[in-house]
Chains A and B, each alone.
Chain A
């Protein structure tokens, strides 16, 4: 087993109940593990939420954490995967002064080359959206920075695994 720290994507399927975020995040907090990114959304199954949590830890540690997460009453199942086993994306939003869009040719090139998308434009500002790997969004951020960014934000990672996660079958066994 790899004893070095590495990035893992943790996927947690839960009942859609109040308070679970607290319980799940407390497990990381107690062990002094910083969460790199966190996203909670609905999943492919109605009434079931999915947490996607990215952490940088040793594999041995993440196994124990998965055990403690699964122990929570309303957690259906938790998994961990490394980057090779997942397809993942994050999204960044950049708010920039509108003047620049028309006056700086270079900005237009950056937008084209990065295949970022213009979400909206008005007199004062326009908003760029870019989805992809963190490095790609970081790169775009670096390129746009010299021109001045009014606001910038990045989402948590969302991921799907290459392998199947048999949540529906699991839920069926719970129901029987």
Chain B
């Protein structure tokens, strides 16, 4: 027996090569099919940059202008490609600058691996130059993290990092590697991680739950589907559409679920939540069966929980068991990957068309159209509206563009009005609501899908939080289209001040620079629009540009986003004005 084992080991020898820890990092990335990474160098990560220089033909490193930009770019890349985004940074300030992007990725379930350099291990804990406890700092905002102090541990740590980041409910992972481990030499070999003991990425579907869910759906008179990003993350778009169509159920989306079902689909009844559409918000409190798919009942979606869908039986399709009953009690929980569970339930669903019930959504839409949408998209008053800009982009892009938004009024308007014909077309910061997300995320999105038109839409406030990434756009020749909707206000906050703080506009007015000159300073084509007559031509010029293009549109200063569910109110108290 013993000799046999030795023999079999000898016949399949592990191929190892003596290399440094830093080379091992780069080789591990290559083994994980990474060919683009975003980052910023510094002392504690320099050995890795030196290796990146050597491996330029295999991995393209994008130098962002701030580490936060690197994380958002990695997120944009991940969101459009479905692959793991990678960001790297040096120790101390480099590492802490990653935190906002990591927190954003955590709450929005974006697969990301961050690698940080760390001071040499003999200095750990000594307050050495540029030392921070990044593992401690990032613990609450990572799916998993670890520190590596020996070169030999690098391949396994990175393999585990990639596996955890991308499997199950995806998320960000951080691996902190000391400088001595980067220099140390060892016998390198790489094995992909296929499982981690104690980690169950996809829970088993509880026996009978699919049948129970199907029975409930089949017997429902007023069923309503609310879906989230889970549909996109599990690539279940096809199965999802099949279910919606077969069962004939009106379906509405959370902001991160947008684009999983085309905007034009007859059963797509719009957006949920605080600035969502009128009908889906109102009718949440009238449906008899609420079918939640890959969404987590965020408070921006549910409003007052004690008045949320109390009349309805709730079915929750979900990959993360911790989401079940977290906010809304589920009568039936269907655990598992949405692609699997939706495929399995489809044959159990009876063909149906809830025509009368669906008509209620259409009736309420008509009211919303009259009171809100018409004025947003086809205004007759003088000032330009954000909605008409989005509408013009829809026209020129034929609804094919990937829309990357920042955070604020423009975000709500863009998500409400953009046409999404293709899945993975709406890239925005949902759970964290991170201003400054848009511009760098657009860089990553464009690099992941160079064939797609990527339009970044920001407000004048958020744009200036990561405006320096124009430098990255210029250096990388990333042909993103950048639109700033300038209302000279931190618009969303101003709206709240108007509605809930007696119009006391405390520190929300912005005196802005010459945005066009700044863009031109980065050698980008740029144009500013102040009048309606100029809009169509400018958007056309932008969309036809082969290079990056900056468009500033001066919009009405004090426009508001409606409908609105005031914070803490019930979804049926949605206001139209």
Contacts and interface: CB of A to CB of B under 8 A. Distances in A.
Interface of A: 14-15, 17-19, 22-23, 26, 30, 63-64, 67-68, 70-71, 73-76, 171, 174-175
Most chain B CB within a 10 A radius of its CB, from A17, A67, A175: A67
Interface string B180-216: 0000000000000000111100000000000000000
A171 B200 CA distance: 12
A76 B198 contact: yes
Q: Which 6 residue pairs across A and B have the least CB separation, nearest first?
A: A67-B322, A76-B198, A73-B144, A71-B322, A73-B199, A174-B197
A71 B144 CA distance: 11
Contact of A19 (B145, B164, B199, B324): B145
Interface string B94-137: 00000000000000000000000000000000000000000110
Nearest to A47: B197
Interface string B452-493: 000000000000000000000000000000000000000000
A15 B197 contact: yes
Contacts, number: 48
A22 B134 CA distance: 13
B175 to A, nearest CB: 12
A83 to B, nearest CB: 25
Secondary structure dominating the interface of B: mixed
Contact of B320 (A18, A23, A30, A71): A71
Given A63-B325, A71-B320, A171 B146 contact: no
Given A19-B136, A71-B320, A74-B198, 7 more contacts: A18-B146, A64-B322, A64-B326, A67-B322, A70-B321, A71-B322, A73-B198
B140 interface: yes
A9 B100 CA distance: 35
Contacts of A171: 197
A112 to B, nearest CB: 47
Contacts of B325: 63-64
25 contacts: A14-B198, A15-B198, A19-B135, A19-B136, A19-B139, A22-B136, A26-B139, A26-B140, A30-B140, A63-B325, A67-B321, A67-B322, A67-B324, A67-B326, A70-B321, A71-B321, A71-B322, A73-B143, A73-B164, A73-B199, A74-B196, A75-B198, A76-B197, A171-B197, A174-B198
Contact of B199 (A64, A67, A74, A175): A74
A23 B197 CA distance: 18
Interface string B270-299: 000000000000000000000000000000
Contacts of A14: 198
Contacts of A17: 146
Contacts of A30: 140
Interface residues of B, number: 20
Nearest to B196: A73
B575 to A, nearest CB: 32
Contacts of B321: 67, 70-71
Contacts of B147: 18
Nearest to A14: B198
Contacts of A67: 321-322, 324, 326
A30 B103 CA distance: 14
Nearest to A76: B198
A68 B140 contact: no
Contacts of B164: 73
Nearest to A66: B322
A18 to B, nearest CB: 8
B322 A70 contact: yes
A171 B199 CA distance: 11
Contacts of B136: 19, 22
A68 B325 CA distance: 12
Most chain A CB within a 10 A radius of its CB, from B146, B197, B325: B197
A77 to B, nearest CB: 8
Interface in B143-195: 143-147, 164
Nearest to B329: A60
B22 to A, nearest CB: 23
